[in-house]
Amino acid sequence: MFDWPLLQQNAPLLLGALWVTLQVSIAALVFGFVIGIVVGSLRLSPIPLLRRLGGAYIFVFRGIPLLVQLLFIYYFLPRVGLPNVSPTVAAIIGLSLAAGAYIAEIMRGGFRAIPGGQLEAAGLLGMSDAQMLMRIRVPQAVRLTLPALVNEMILLIKASSLVSVVGLADLTRTAQNLAASDYMFVQDYLMLAGFYCLINVPLAYAASLLERRLKERTA
């Protein structure tokens, strides 16, 4: 069932594709983080309309399967006058929009954990809302939600396997192509699973360590 020479031949190809998967996931995490801060702040805004707007964003992007969102972007963008979006860009847009909704919920929890007195004090010191967000709320919220954010990264790396449907040669698509040519389905797909574990198992371990440390510090 296993063919070692073939395995040695395929492994470097998958390693290269792993890099694509990582690039797309990290880009989506960064953009999703920005979206998450904006939408998370909207959710806590004193203005009801803005709160609803944030809620609607989360409702839509968490309620629709990522695969459908990716198909939507891939088929829909050219129709509204945005032709020639490369698969990489389409994949990053799709993953970021979805990640933004999940990170918004995480950040909302983080923002709410910050004592209101700090913000009042910052206001008295003459800080603008933007300054308060960047200097007081975000740094503390990130520290509080770091385990959740690492878990979000794991989810994103797993979700990025779906970008193969918009034609990006990520880890999953590369393994599919290899399996289609050498018919070693078990070997190729087990190797594929192994590559995902290579990244995600250490990340999961890091997340649980961070969580324990956070618990010790807050306890």
Partner 1 sequence: MTFDPSIFTDHLGDIGLGFLVTLGTWSSGVLLGLALGMLIAVAQVFGNNLMRVPLRVFIELIRSTPFLVQLFLVYYGGPSFGISLDPIPAGILGLGVYGGVYFAEIFRTGFQSVARGQLEAADCLGITRLQSIWRIQLPQMLVMILPALVNMVTVLCKETAVLSIITIPELTMVLTGIGSETFAFVETLLMLCIGYLILVELCSRLGMFLETRVGRFMSRQPR
How is 38-102 classified by DSSP, letter by letter? HHHHHHT-SSHHHHHHHHHHHHHHHHS-HHHHHHHHHHHGGGGT-----HHHHHHHHHHHHHHHH
65 binds partner 1 (CB under 8 A): yes
CA distances for 147 relative to 49, 138, 141, 210, angstroms = 31, 15, 11, 6
Q: Could you say which residues in the range 110-149 bind partner 1, by CB under 8 A?
A: none
Least distance to partner 1 from the beta carbon of 26, Å?
16
In whole angstroms, give the CA distance from residue 143 to residue 85: 36
In whole angstroms, give the CA distance from residue 40 to residue 136: 15
Segment lying near partner 1 (by CB under 8 A), choices 34-42, 55-63, 112-120, 142-150: 55-63
Segment lying near partner 1 (by CB under 8 A), choices 88-96, 108-116, 123-131, 198-206: 198-206
172 binds partner 1 (CB under 8 A): yes
- Residue closest to 39 by CA, chosen among 98, 133, 103, 94: 103
Which of 90/133 has CB closer to partner 1? 90
The first and second tokens of residue 6, run together, are 């073939």
7 binds partner 1 (CB under 8 A): no
The single residue among 3, 15, 16, 72 that binds partner 1, judged by CB under 8 A, is 72
In whole angstroms, give the CA distance from residue 99 to residue 79: 24
Segment lying near partner 1 (by CB under 8 A), choices 6-14, 106-114, 140-148, 193-201: 193-201
161 binds partner 1 (CB under 8 A): yes
190 binds partner 1 (CB under 8 A): yes
Is 172 in contact with 192 (CB distance < 8 Å)?
yes
Segment lying near partner 1 (by CB under 8 A), choices 5-13, 35-43, 74-82, 128-136: 74-82
Is 28 in contact with 124 (CB distance < 8 Å)?
no
* CB-count exposure of residue 173 (10 Å: 0-12, 13-18, 19+): buried
The single residue among 162, 168, 169, 207 that binds partner 1, judged by CB under 8 A, is 162
Segment lying near partner 1 (by CB under 8 A), choices 12-20, 58-66, 84-92, 106-114: 58-66
The residue ranges that bind partner 1 (CB under 8 A) are 1, 59-60, 62-68, 71-72, 75-76, 79-80, 154, 157-162, 164-165, 172, 175-176, 179, 185-186, 189-190, 192-193, 196-197, 200-201, 204
